[in-house]
Amino acid sequence: QSVLTQPPSVSAAPGQKVTISCSGSSSNLGNNYVSWYQQVPGSAPKLLIYDNDQRPSGIPDRFSGSKSGTSATLGITGLRTGDEGDYFCGTWDSGLSVGVFGGGTKLTVL
Amino acid sequence: QVQLVESGGGVVQPGRSLRLSCEASGFTISSYTIHWVRRAPGKGLEWVALISFDGSIKYYADSVRGRFTISRDNSKNTLYLQMTSLRAEDTAVHYCARGTTSGAYDYWGRGTLVTVSS
């Protein structure tokens, strides 16, 4: 059971938009920044979004992030087959003094 | 460019020990918090431990506290994860990741696989 809650899977057609939610509590998302990661099979996780809504250099603006209270959302527009993979939200839990991740969401581009 | 390379994984029997290494290049680890994160087969990412830039602060996940020890040698630009009393549930790809000041992980190694099996 993960501390952060994500839907197990989402799917959409190429070119469409999808959102992935991440829900937590006051000790984690409520008081700390959220980050998002993409992991495709056989590869290391890659940082997509940090500080709730910031994109690292090289990440296209098709990827966006937002946070409100104890919930966060990752948005992906203009879906491509290459976007398929697992997506994870992460943050720090100040009450537990541990890093925490969501259970992951598998994105399928139909 | 920034690179993290893990090593030391392998197949080990339950109850035995293993030491993972994470060699950094392209940046000086003495300025950064470094984390270990793992992913077990069929599971999601699990945060394991962190060590502050100077080694003075260490935190561990409940699942490994008392069994794993994180350390660093800034002179070698290398991090370590000493794993003892290994269990089947420790079977996973173990990654080291560089931490940002706001709690994100901006660079990751490719990981090293630890398999605990008799």
DSSP A23-34: E--TTTTTTS--
Residue of B45, B68, B98 to mutate, interface with A, max A Cβ within 10 Å: B45
Encode pLDDT of B35-70 as tens digits: 999 999 999 999 999 999 999 999 999 999 999 999
Q: Do A104 and B45 touch (CB under 8 A)?
A: yes
> How confident is the model over B101-110, as pLDDT tens digits?
999 999 999 9
* Residue B113 in contact with partner chain A when CB distance is under 8 A: no
Interface test with B, best of A22, A37, A86 (most B CBs within 10 A): A37
Task: Give CA separation, B108 vs A16, B32, B41, in Å.
Answer: 29, 13, 18
Task: Render pLDDT for A35-54 as a digit per residue (tens, 0 to 9).
Answer: 999 999 989 999 999 999 99
DSSP state of B100: P
Query: Percentage of chain B surpassing pLDDT 90?
Result: 99
Q: How does residue B25 score in pLDDT terms, banded at 50, 70 and 90? A: very high
Average pLDDT over residues A51-65: 97
Q: What's the pLDDT score for residue A15?
A: 97
Tokens 């300025």 sit at which residue?
Answer: B31
> Which residues lie across from B47 on neighbouring strands?
B37
- CA of B31 vs chain A CAs: smallest distance (Å): 19
Given a cut of 90, is residue B17 above it in pLDDT?
A: yes
Q: Model confidence over A72-89: pLDDT tens digits? A: 999 999 999 999 999 999
B3 contact A CB<8A: no
B35 in reach of chain A (CB within 8 A): yes
Report, as an integer, the average pLDDT of B63-86: 96
Query: Could A44 and B109 be called an inter-chain contact, meaning their C-beta atoms sit closer than 8 Å?
Result: yes
Give the pLDDT band of residue A2 (cuts 50, 70, 90).
confident
Is the pLDDT at A1 greater than 90, yes or no? no
Residue type, B40: A
With beta carbons less than 8 A apart as the criterion, state whether B103 and A99 touch.
yes
- Report yes or no: B106 at the A interface, CB cutoff 8 Å: yes
All residues of chain A having their beta carbon less than 8 Å from the beta carbon of residue B45 are: 37, 39, 45, 88, 90, 101, 104
Residue B88 pLDDT class (50, 70, 90 cuts): very high
Give the contacts of A31 (CB within 8 A, at least 6 positions apart): A94
Q: Model confidence at B85, in pLDDT bands (50, 70, 90)?
A: very high
Instruction: Report CA Rg, chain A.
Output: 13
